[in-house]
Structure 1
Amino acid sequence: MPGTEYFKKSAKHTLKPRWGGAITVVTVGFCVTILLMMAEQLTDMLLGFTLTEQTLIESGNLRAFYMEMFGQPLKAALYFGVSALFLLLGIIVRAPISLGIKRYFWGVTAGGPETAGTAFDFFASFKMYFRAVRMELYIFARILLRAIILLIPGTALIWLSAYAGDYQVLALLFGYLAYIGAAAVMIPEALKYYMAGYILANDDEISPSGAIKKSIKMTKGTKGSYFILMLSFIGWWLLCIFILPMMYVMPYTGAANAHYAHYVMREYAKKNAAENGRTQIIVY
């Protein structure tokens, strides 16, 4: 398999005459995300969630947050209800745009004449729209279910550390170690689905569940190299705290990921062709 530099150089070559369209496409997705975040923050303010509660969540001090909310069950239910509502709204709004962006980068990395309007392709009909939303919901549900199961031990230990007396530090240590172990399992689990968006975006006949199953097959043996490709952009993403570099980094990563997806799909097709050839030899 080619190294990360191959896919990154290919991305730069693809984008050279197309920076304007690529920046327009990723800006659409970025603006939608920002608007949803602002709407959620405004809703939290209107409902009276305090800065202290927000800070506890953002700092990762979940035990303190839960203790803060434990004595206010109605407020806690409202808080989590609003969070769940905006999470669902994010999927409903962003899923079609996300797939449209994938279709755009898939097309331009194949040499196609894609336009910025490709980002809205999945709003063209109810069928396309709901295919996009269903796939995102399926993937989210799969990952969430596994995450809940894996995070239960760590969450329980951190919660119980408040009552562990002399063993509080030990309980916290094992709780955070359990979280690290859960993350180590969840990363490859989540990476099984990275091809699903490209598959669905470029096959109008395949079902969302079919795209997910095909992605799981395609990504066998490639998740590690894809993870390394993503890690290679960490330096670039750190620059994005200044906002403006995002207009370079997002198209760059989008094109590199699409080139990688093309490679995985070609290798999968070659493998299937070879296996079919062997089958025919055995049969005939």
Structure 2
Amino acid sequence: MIIGDIKYSALHSLRGKWGQAFWVSIILAFFFYLIPTGIEIYISGGFWKWLEQDHVPVKADMINSVITLFLFPITAASYWYYLSLARNEHWKTSQLFSVYTTSMAWKLIWTSVLTVVFSLLWGLLLIIPGIVKGTGYSQAYLLLKDHPEFTALQAIRESQERMKEFKMDFFLLNLSFLGWGLLCILSFGIGFLWLVPYMGVANAHFYQKHIHSPEHEAN
């Protein structure tokens, strides 16, 4: 795999679509950053108390964990959005939420829970095996998009099987964005509104090239 080719393809897919990608990032930031932060501030007793505290209140952590659980389908839907860009397919922003109107939402939640549990169990042995296993499970959401008939466990197992030869490639692809990530931090996080879709579409092209390849789909 040539990382430069994957990233070039991602930029090409985003051409003329940056505006929509930006608004998708805004929506994701609202649900995954602003709402949890707002809950922390409220439970802490106000902004200044929240700013001065050394740790997040346990109650806020518990509430945010439950909220995150039910936001997993939006995470998956964002992956599907990036895949639609890689495939040059039409997509509406409302599709981020339409996933909740089907039984797929519960399957995505269960897939996410199993992925986290399996990764943590491997991580109890050693950190590296946990990371490797987590990388192996990384394609489950996209596989469920193309194979909605899969159960959560089937999607995870299929992801692990198809990623056998490509774990290092996937790791290096995402590592190549490290420099951009540091620049985004220096921009107080604003740059992530553009970096996240760039990475998402690059990972979608990786999926198209290696995981959704004809030889895999023929089996």
Fold shared, TM-score > 0.5 on shorter chain: yes
2:193 aligned to 247, 250, 275, which one?
247
| Aligned match for 2:179, one of 225, 235, 238 | 235
Supply the distance in 2 between the matched residues of 1:19 and 1:237 (Cα, whole angstroms): 18
The question of whether the paired residues in 2 share the 8 Å contact of 1:103 and 1:202 is answered with: no
What secondary structure is seen at the aligned counterpart in 2 of 1:116?
coil
Quote the offset at 1:271 in angstroms: 5.3
Residue 237 of structure 1 aligns to a residue whose secondary structure is helix
Q: For structure 1, which segment, 220-229 or 30-39, has the greater mean C-alpha deviation from structure 2 after superposition?
A: 30-39
Q: Name stretches of at least 5 consecutive residues in structure 2 with no aligned partner.
A: none
The answer on whether the counterparts of 2:120 and 2:130 sit within 8 Å (CA) in structure 1 is: no
Name 1:96's counterpart in structure 2.
Answer: 73
Which range is displaced more, 41-50 or 128-137?
41-50
TM-score by structure 2 length?
Answer: 0.87
Deviations 1:175-198, CA, capped at 9 Å, x for gaps = xxxxxxx33222212101111010
Q: Give the Å deviation of 1:265.
A: 2.1
Letter in 2 for 1:253: M
CA contact (8 A) 2:6 2:206 kept: yes
Residue matched to 1:117: 94
Give the ranges of 4+ consecutive aligned residues of structure 1 lying more than 3 Å apart after TM superposition: 46-53, 79-82
Q: CA deviation at 1:121?
A: 3.0
- Going from structure 1 to structure 2, the CA distance change for 1:46 and 1:189 (only over 3 Å counts) comes to same
Please give the per-residue CA displacement for 1:24-48, whole angstroms capped at 9, x wherever unaligned. Answer: 2222111111133213422551499
2:106 alignment counterpart: 130
What is the distance in 1 between the residues matched to 2:54 and 2:77? 36
| TM alignment of 1:128-167, pairs within 5 A | 128-147=104-123, 149-150=124-125
Cα 1:39–1:52, aligned 2, differ >3 Å: closer, same or farther?
closer
Shift of 1:7: 0.6
Q: Which residue of 1 aligns with 2:8?
A: 9
1:214 aligns with 2:192: no
CA deviations on 1:28-72 (whole Å, 9 max, x unpaired) are 111111133213422551499994642xx8xxxxxxxxxxxxxxx
Separation of aligned partners in 2, 1:237 and 1:200: 28
8 Å CA contact retained: 1:99, 1:132? yes
How does 1:31-70 map onto structure 2 within 5 Å? 31-46=30-45, 51=52, 53-54=54-55
1:270 paired to 2:215: yes
Residue identity opposite 2:208 in structure 1: H
Unaligned runs of 5+ in 1: 58-78, 151-181, 277-284
Query: Which of 37-46 and 96-105 deviates more?
Result: 37-46
Are the structure 2 counterparts of residues 43 and 9 from structure 1 closer, same or farther at C-alpha, using a change threshold of 3 Å? same
Q: How many Å apart are 1:108 and its aligned residue?
A: 1.7
Distance 1:83 1:248 in 2: 28
Structure 2 match to 1:178: none
